[in-house]
Amino acid sequence: MDTEHLNELKDSIRQMKAIEKGDLAPSRVRVVNPENEVAQARQ
């Protein structure tokens, strides 16, 4: 793994930890409705 990719990975991990602590808002949020997801998967 080259240095650039490693630095991107480290930045992503820092962002993940900040989101978990509530210091940073996630860029996207997905809300899953289990009933609809299961029904669609079965079709």
Q: What pLDDT sits at residue 41?
A: 67
Q: Binning pLDDT at 50, 70 and 90, where does residue 38 land?
A: low
Q: Where are the beta strands (DSSP E) in 1-43?
A: none
Length of the chain: 43
H/E stretch holding 37 reads: helix 34-42
At 23, phi and psi to the nearest 5?
A: -80, -20
Domain that holds residue 8: 3-42
Q: Which two tokens stand for residue 15?
A: 């962002």
pLDDT digits (tens, 9 = 90+) for 4-28: 999 999 999 999 999 999 999 999 9
Domain tally, the chain: 1
pLDDT digits (tens, 9 = 90+) for 27-37: 998 877 777 76
